Chains A and B, each alone.
Chain A
Amino acid sequence: MISSTIGIWNYWIVFLLMMIGLFLVIGRKNFLKKIVGLAIFQTSVFLLYITFGKIKGGTPPILNNAIDTVYSNPLPHVLILTAIVVGVATTALGLSLVLRINSEYGSIEEDEISAQDLVDYHDQIETSKKIDTKFIE
């Protein structure tokens, strides 16, 4: 009973962590919080992959001279090594976008930025109407 619960306990918690990351991305308005959510989601996916590669009583996949060694699966490790580096590249790109947005709008909250955009849009419509009436006259 205990061993079977522990056997899928990892999966449950990893799925909960994924949902925490997803909620930070879609439920919070702060852009830095959204990027943190992406990082949390990524790390929990890494955990899921590495969990698949584990073998009970296995050793890390480094060759030794003993005959009956069971090595844990090296393939998920390779995939995740690539993914970690790409994840940091994504984080750096997202953070520079946030810095750019902050210097342009003076805020990193999603609703304030869309409110400013709405004001700009209405201003544009007003000015284009004025230009139109001038042409008609």
Chain B
Amino acid sequence: MISELIINAFLVTVMLAIGIALLRTRTLIFTVVLTSAYSLVAALMFITLDAVDVAFTEASVGAGISTILFLAAMAYLPKEEEENINSQILPVFTCILLGGILIWCSYDLPEIGLLSSPVHQHIVPDYILGSRDDIGIPNIVTSVLASYRGYDTFGETIVVFTAGVAVLVLLKNNTQTSKQKNKNSKRKVG
């Protein structure tokens, strides 16, 4: 039991190292690759925390598709980040203050893996029994996702559809304006 938690603590420390490397780098391609590595280590952590469905979704969607999106966008963008001229005292102070408050509050959180913590008491035993008796699907995550919280999933598909339409509209205008710019510049030359 304790070895699981030690592996867990090690992996989360690796993630912290990747985060610090992200703060230091100025090359955008390196940033994108580090984000992908971050998602993969997160997927490993999800496996040690017993969330297998989340792990393969994170590995395929978080580390796969979003990296492809970032790389595709980077083809049209500047490759280097410019040095900051403004002072960063205010953001640093905000982050340290907020992080300090959160860590202070963490002493009131239940320890990892206790069966008696409040999360496990409310409705989850009903879901586990109902998945076997009422729905008959062995994967409890699937039966909660598609049946007990089906409206959540419906709302999610609406969100994804809206985002897809918005992306199409934005990128369509993008090509149109660049064509118009070309026409205008040709006219000026002519």
Cross-chain contact A77 with B35 (CB below 8 angstroms): no
Instruction: Please measure, in the bound complex, the distance between the C-alpha atom of A75 and the C-alpha atom of B20, giving whole angstroms.
Output: 31
Residue from B1, B49, B173 whose CB has the most chain A CB atoms within 10 Å: B49
Complex contact B167–A92 (CB within 8 A): yes
Q: Which of B106, B113, B149, B152 contacts A54 (CB 8 A)?
A: B113
Where chain A touches its partner, the secondary structure class is helix
Are B159 and A86 within 8 A (Cβ)? yes
Closest to B159 in A: A86
Q: Contact between B32 and A95 (Cβ–Cβ < 8 Å)?
A: no
Neighbouring B residues of A4 by C-beta, 8 Å: 111
Nearest-neighbour CB distance to chain B for A102, whole angstroms, equals 6
Contact across chains for B144 and A95 when beta carbons are under 8 A apart: no
The contact string, 1 if C-beta is below 8 Å from chain B, for chain A 27-56, is 111101100100110010011001111111
Residues 144-190 of B contacting A (Cβ, < 8 Å): 144-145, 149, 152-153, 156, 159-160, 163-164, 166-167, 170-171, 173-174, 177-178
Q: Is B119 in contact with A43, judged by CB distance below 8 angstroms?
A: no
Q: Are A86 and B70 in contact (CB under 8 A)?
A: no
A-B residue pairs in contact (CB < 8 Å), sample of 5: A63-B138, A73-B119, A73-B124, A93-B167, A95-B70
Interface residues of B (CB under 8 A from A): 1-2, 4-6, 8-9, 12-13, 15-16, 19-20, 22-23, 28, 31-32, 35, 38-39, 42, 45-46, 49-54, 57-58, 61-62, 65-66, 69-70, 73-74, 76-78, 81-82, 84-86, 88, 91-92, 94-96, 98-99, 102-103, 106-107, 109, 111-115, 117, 119-120, 123-124, 127-128, 131-132, 138-141, 144-145, 149, 152-153, 156, 159-160, 163-164, 166-167, 170-171, 173-174, 177-178
